[in-house]
Structure 1
Amino acid sequence: MEIACTDLTHVLRSERRFKYTGYSKSFHMPGRDKHIKRRWNFGGHDWEIRVYPHGGEPSAPSWVAINVVLLSECAVAVVTTIRGCLVDPEGVREPSEEICQSVAFRKPQDKSSQMLLMPWYTLNKSRYLKDDSFIVQCTLEVLKELPDIPEPEVHVPLPTSNLHQHFAELLQSQMGADVTFLVSGESFAAHKYILAVRSRVFKAAFLGDMIERGSECVEIKDMEAVVFKALLHFIYTDTVLEFEQQEGAEAMITDTVPESGQRDEAHEQAASVMALAQHLLAAADRYGLDRLKLICASKLYDGIKVDTAATTLALAEQYNCWELQKRCADFITKTYARNSSLDAVAATEGTSGRD
C-alpha cells in the first residue's frame, strides 16, 4: 500500500556578506558594547545583524563576534537558525569555522547570544584580514509553517557557483602554467589555453601563426603591472576584484558618520579605482575582451566628475563607447549650463587614463 507524506514546515534560507573596513580603528571606539549594525528583511520579518569588531560581552572582549536581533512583530515564535563565519576576501581560502545557533524569537528586540567567530590575535595573522578589512558571512534559516495545500512543492536551494574561485586559485598557485608575462618589471604566470579561450587576441597569439605560439616568456609593453594583473584576474574569474572591493566599501555597514580620515581614504580609493578603470578599458579593447570593456565603461559612467569628465570623454571616443561618450558630453554641458567652471573640466583633459 502506498503511503503519502505531507510536509508541514519549510525552511527559508538567506545568506549575506558584510564588509567591515577600518578594523584597526575599532580598537579605539569608545564603549565596550560598540557595534556596527545593518537591517535585513527576510522571511516576512525585519532583522538586524550586529557586528562586534572586538567583542561586546565582558567574557569575550578579544573576539570578532555577531548577533541577530528581531525588529518586527510576530504572531508566533520565529524559529531561526543563525550561521556565521569569516570569508576570504580573495575567494581562495575556505571560510573560517562556521558557528551555528538556533533561537526562537518571540517579540521585537529579542536577540541571539553573541556568536564568537575568531579571536582578534588570530584574525590579525590570517588571510581573512586584508587591507584593514574583513568580511562576515551570515546565514539565516527560518522555519515556516506551510499553508494547507495539497502536496506543497519544496524548493531545495542550490549552492552558489564557485567555479570562479577554483580558477582564481589556479591563477594564484601557477600550477601547470606554461607562459610567463613580463610587465613593467613584474612577472605573471598563466595558461595559454585559458587565455586563448577567453581572448581572440591571445588565441591568435598562442594558437595561430604569431611568434608567441612557442614562447614561454612574453613581454607586454605600454601597460602597468597593476592593470595587467587585473586583466588576468578577469580572464580567470570574469570579475574585477578592485571594483568589487570598492562596491563593498561603499556598502560598508555603519551607523555613524565616518571620520574625516576614513572619508579621505574612501575618496583616494575611488580615485584609484577610476584610474584603473580608464587603463583597463584600453587593455580590454587591446585584447578583445568585450565584456570587460563594458564593465569598465559602466564603472566610468557612474563615476564621472569634473576632474575626470574630459579624460573619460576622450577614452570613450577612442574606444567607441557611445553611451559613455554621450554621458560625458551631457555632464560637461550641464556643468557649463549651471555656470560651473568649465575650465576645471578642460584643465583635466589628457592628464590621465590614456594607455
Structure 2
Amino acid sequence: MFESKLFTDFEIKCNDEESLYVHRVILAAKSPVFMAMMTNDMEEAAENCVTLHDVDSVTMKELLRYIYCETVENIDAMAPKLIYEAEKYHLDNLKMMCKNSLISNLSIDNVLDNLIIASRLSCVKDLFEKCVDVILTKFQFSSPSELCEKLPPDVCYKYCHELMQRLNTIYI
C-alpha cells in the first residue's frame, strides 16, 4: 500500500511542493497527531489535504515508509531530520531508532549537530550525554568557554551550566 496510490484518500503537500498521497486510516492508526487531524473539526479533515511547511518530501516519504512498513531506508542518513518528525507525530519507536542511529554514528564531525538535536528534543538525554563525552574526549579546548563560543546560543543557554561543570572538572 505504501508504494501504490490505489485507494488513497488524503494528500500531504510538502515544503518542496511535492504531494504525497496516503490512506487516512493508516496514518490515523499509527499517529495520535494524524488521528486528531483526521477526526477533529479541522480544515485538513474537511479538505482531505494538509500542507506541511516544515518538512521536505524525502523526509516525509521516510516517515510514511515507517508508518506503513515500520522500516526506514538508510536510517543513518535520515535520522537527523527524521527524529524531529518522529517527535512531532508521536512515533516513539521511530524516535528511538533515530536516536540510536545518531548515537552509534556519533563522531567528531557531527557531534555539534547532534548536540543541537539533543538540546531541541528533551527526550534524547542519552544522546546529549554521548555528545558531551565525545566533546570531552575528542575536542581540544584551551578553556571551557571556548566550547560555548562554538555552539549556537540556544544550545549554550540550555546546556551551558552542565557543559561547563563537566568541562571544569577536566581543566581544574
**TM-score over 0.5 for the pair:** yes
1:133-212 correspondence runs (5 A): 170-183=1-14, 184-212=16-44
Residue 88 of structure 2 aligns to which amino acid in structure 1? R
CA 346–331 in structure 1, closer or farther in 2 if over 3 Å, else same: farther
Residue 35 of structure 2 aligns to which amino acid in structure 1? K
Residue 322 of structure 1 aligns to which amino acid in structure 2? K
**1:335 equivalent among 121, 138, 145:** 138
CA 344–185 in structure 1, closer or farther in 2 if over 3 Å, else same: farther
Q: Which residue of 1 aligns with 2:114?
A: 312
Secondary structure of the 2:27 match is: helix
Secondary structure of the 1:221 match is: coil
The answer to whether the aligner puts 1:296 opposite 2:98 as a matched pair is yes
Using the TM superposition, give the Cα deviation of residue 222 of structure 1 relative to its aligned residue in structure 2, in angstroms: 1.2
**2:80 equivalent among 273, 278, 287:** 278
Using the TM superposition, give the Cα deviation of residue 209 of structure 1 relative to its aligned residue in structure 2, in angstroms: 2.6
Separation in 2 of the partners of 1:346 and 1:205? 41
What does the per-residue CA deviation read over 1:246-302, in whole Å, with 9 as the maximum and x for residues that have no partner? Answer: xxxxxxxxxxxxxxxxxxxxxxxx6xx1xx211101111111111111110000001
Separation in 2 of the partners of 1:192 and 1:326? 38
Using the TM superposition, give the Cα deviation of residue 208 of structure 1 relative to its aligned residue in structure 2, in angstroms: 2.0
The answer to whether the aligner puts 1:326 opposite 2:157 as a matched pair is no
Separation in 2 of the partners of 1:345 and 1:334? 16
Q: Which residue of 2 aligns with 1:146?
A: none
Using the TM superposition, give the Cα deviation of residue 334 of structure 1 relative to its aligned residue in structure 2, in angstroms: 1.1
Secondary structure of the 2:62 match is: helix
Unpaired runs of 5+ residues, structure 2, are: 153-172
Q: Which residue of 2 aligns with 1:116?
A: none
Greater C-alpha Rg: 1
The question of whether the paired residues in 2 share the 8 Å contact of 1:233 and 1:240 is answered with: yes
Separation in 2 of the partners of 1:173 and 1:305? 38
Query: TM-score under structure 2 normalisation?
Result: 0.78
The question of whether the paired residues in 2 share the 8 Å contact of 1:197 and 1:203 is answered with: yes
Residue 303 of structure 1 aligns to which amino acid in structure 2? N
Structure number with the higher helix fraction is: 2
Residue 198 of structure 1 aligns to which amino acid in structure 2? K
The count of aligned residue pairs is 148
What does the per-residue CA deviation read over 1:302-336, in whole Å, with 9 as the maximum and x for residues that have no partner? Answer: 11111210111121121120111111111101113
Q: Which residue of 2 aligns with 1:217?
A: 49
Structure number with the higher strand fraction is: 1
The question of whether the paired residues in 2 share the 8 Å contact of 1:332 and 1:345 is answered with: no
Unpaired runs of 5+ residues, structure 1, are: 1-169, 244-269, 351-355
**1:237 equivalent among 69, 82, 86:** 69
Residue 200 of structure 1 aligns to which amino acid in structure 2? P
Tell me the percent identity: 30
Using the TM superposition, give the Cα deviation of residue 345 of structure 1 relative to its aligned residue in structure 2, in angstroms: 10
